[in-house]
Structure 1
């Protein structure tokens, strides 16, 4: 019986946390909007994601970040190759100086 009350208390704490964070209000508003739709969407989960702001702008941001990452990786590879080439040229220059010809 004590175990039941402990888990019940944790549930109540979690419920208060969600309420305080505004999660319950957001979910309630989205579910009410879904309920009030005259033509129910085929995919209720997509409807909920859209109304919670999960889809849409974020996906374009993600795509832009992927493109930027790809571009930066390409630039990084070019710079690493250039760095390697410059180091080799510097080593050649230093070896010429060590031979006594300055």
Structure 2
């Protein structure tokens, strides 16, 4: 005769943790996507890995990365402009130092 065991508090706590973190929803959506594939992929584990990776990036992560790209592009443009200005200044002084240079 089978004995009924009540829910283990550790298991319930872990299950709530997974639900709160969004793991259960992510796994469910990936498994549903796999189920709805017209043709089963040859490597189901690889399918799950790929879809979990794409589902794992939150919009906040994406937005933060996009903002970082914008900031870095602006910094790169400022540095390129500064480099151009410094090269122009250097060109003004470089010919004078070549004319006045003495051979050793």
TM-score normalized by the length of structure 1: 0.46
Question: How high is the TM-score relative to the length of structure 2?
Answer: 0.45
Structure in which a larger fraction of residues adopt helix: 1
Highest RCO, 1 vs 2 (Cα 8 Å, sep ≥ 6): 2
